Amino acid sequence: MLSLESLDLLLSISEGELIEELIIGLLATPQLAIFFEKFPRLKRALTKDLPEWKFRLRQRIHDTPVPPDLAKEFYLYQHCQQIDAATFQAELPALIEQLESLNSPFITEARSLQQNAEETRGPKTGNSFQTLFLQRWRLNLTFQTVTVHHQLLEQEQEQLQEELQQRLELSGELSPLLAENDAAAGRLWDMSKGQRQRGEVQSLSRYGAFLQQQPELQRLAEQLGRSQKAKTSPHEDAKMEEHRLMVREPATVPEEVNGIHQSDDILRLMPTELGTLGIPELEYEFYRRLLEKRLMTYRLQGDVWREKVVKRPVVHQQQEPQPRGPFVICVDTSGSMGGFNEQCAKAFCLALLRIALADNRRCYIMLFASQVIHYELTSSNGLDQALRFLGQHFRGGTDLAACLTATLDKLSSPEWHDADAVIISDFIAQRLPEEVKKRVKHLQQDKHHRFHALAMSQYGKPGIMRIFDHIWRFDTGMKSRVQRRWQRD
């Protein structure tokens, strides 16, 4: 079977140029231009799919067979290339009949060439006629092949355009909600593959709007997901280095009187000493005490600044951010978590998903009631997983121990190294088994995992929450809700 790719090769047709023209024409459509102007991050994400599109189109050309009539005509063309001029002249009438039976577009021109050759045939006409005939026939075959390409690529363009339209609508709707940076826009674009009805994604937009109405919940998610620690530590083998600084120390400068002392300072003599100088009997005594620096004079005291050189160890200031590993989120789906609590829990998970997309982290959700249900929101089908999660209703019982056990089992695997475990609950539950507490402590100390609790009730049991590294409180009681609303207004 002759494939379209083989025919391109034999006729020296550049399929790459045809594919490039299709891609350029698709990206230049007015709808895409308007969309890219509004969402530039998604444009950068879409351009990453260009190699995949080109490979897909090349694969389609590789797998597409040539129409049977065109394949037969091409085999005739190859046969005519291999025979000499005399044989070609002898077989020309039969060749014209075969072209007519194949409904070849070249038949009209072939008859015209045959008629002109019969009218002007000379002794050297044979070779030149065969060359001209084959050249014109090759041009016609090339035109037919390019036409098949355009038909095939038009089908692919329609299919690709329809797929892009759906993905662009979905990504454009969710971009303000989930795409915080280029990394998040790229992952959102990858997750938008697949067929979805417009009504299916309304729940994401609805919980996104609810999250905007609860800015305190958004701030808690940002604090939980992006906390960092700064650490200052001297190097163990730090060398001593010289450090120059200005110090202030006492000095005898004319600033203020600070007492009386013995000296030979004539300018600061006390009046009694000057009196002895005017008495002839005591004049020699005055000079004797002057030489001995024993005259009573005023003492002036002041301060002076001077440079002092000291040595100190070299200290390195370094910022050590906490590792940003995956999120493992456990959501309590008991009856007490229904209603407003359910809305807050789902919106908080949506906020953590936004952070996970921006920081290229995994986001895994487990719902615990009578059984544990798993969702991974950052997988290739993450949007489908998110829609199923948001469609769940919280009507079960509370089994916090089972949820923590499933979480601990997951965190023990290497792929979840350094993960953040987040438990969303009102923590009105039974006491945790000692074995579970020991396993949590082991992962905290030896594996450096962090356990966070989002407490949605002020009546949660303190004994349960002692195992967590951080407790983030968001009371959903009516009084707290009114207070938050009043503070926002």
Instruction: State what percent of residues in the chain have pLDDT above 90.
Output: 0
| pLDDT value at residue 220 | 85
**In-domain check, residue 233:** no
Q: Are residues 30 and 91 in the same domain?
A: yes
Q: What's the rounded mean pLDDT across residues 126-133?
A: 81
pLDDT at residue 433, as a whole number: 86
> Measuring CA to CA, which residue among 325, 329, 323, 336 is closest to residue 454?
329
Domain end marker among 195, 215, 231: 195
Looking at the structure of the chain, the number of domains it has is 3
Residue bearing the bigger pLDDT, 431 or 371: 431
Q: Give me the helix-helix angle, 40-47 and 30-38, nearest 10°.
A: 120
Span 114-126, average pLDDT: 66
pLDDT of the residue at 181: 72
Regarding whether 343 and 280 lie in a shared domain, the answer is no
Residues 9, 114 share a domain: yes
Q: Are 291 and 372 found together in one domain?
A: no
Q: Which range scores top for mean pLDDT: 149-163, 307-321, 413-427?
A: 413-427
For residues 301 and 126, which has the higher predicted lDDT (pLDDT)? 301
Q: Is residue 173 pLDDT above 70, yes or no? A: yes
**Residue 170: predicted pLDDT:** 72
Partners of residue 447 on adjacent β-strands: none
In contact, 56 and 152? CB cutoff 8 Å:
no
Does residue 239 lie within any of the structural domains? Answer: no
Structural domain includes residue 450: yes
Name the packing angle between helices 382-390 and 340-358 (round to 10°): 170
pLDDT value, residue 359: 84
Residue-wise pLDDT for 62-91, tens only, equals 777 878 888 888 888 888 888 888 888 888
Query: CA of 39: how far to CAs of 42, 162, 193, 407, in Å?
Result: 6, 19, 18, 37
> What span, in angstroms and rounded, lies between the C-alpha atoms of 30 and 153?
20
Domain boundary among 253, 278, 307: 307
User: How confident is the prediction for the chain on average, in pLDDT?
Assistant: 76
Q: Are residues 134 and 3 in the same domain?
A: yes
CA nearest 403: which of 395, 415, 411? 411
Counts of helices then strands in the chain (DSSP H, E): 20, 10
The domain in which residue 297 lies consists of: 245-307
Whether 299 is covered by a domain: the verdict is yes
Q: Which of 117-121, 238-242, 317-321 is the least confident region?
A: 317-321
For position 206, what pLDDT does the model report?
Answer: 85
165-179, 371-385, 399-413 — which is least confidently predicted? 165-179
Band (pLDDT 50/70/90 cuts) for residue 197 is low
Q: What is the pLDDT of residues 353-397, one digit of tens each?
A: 888 888 888 888 888 766 678 888 888 777 888 888 888 777 766
Are 261 and 122 found together in one domain? no
Report percent pLDDT > 70 for the chain.
77
Assess whether 97 and 158 both reside in one domain: yes
Q: Which residue, of 195, 216, 231, is where some domain finishes?
A: 195
Same structural domain, 15 and 72: yes
Global pTM reads 0.59
Tell me if 470 is assigned to some domain.
yes
Tell whether 7 and 143 lie within a shared domain: yes
Q: Are residues 112 and 52 in the same domain?
A: yes
In-domain check, residue 211: no
Average pLDDT on 28-44 reads 72
- pLDDT recorded at residue 71: 85
232: confidence class by pLDDT, cuts 50, 70, 90: very low
Whether 260 is in a domain gets the answer: yes
Residues 290 and 396 placed together within one structural domain of the fold = no
| Per-residue pLDDT band at 255 (split at 50, 70, 90) | low
426, 455 contact by CB (below 8 A):
yes
Would 218 be classed as within a structural domain? no
Same domain, 276 and 416: no
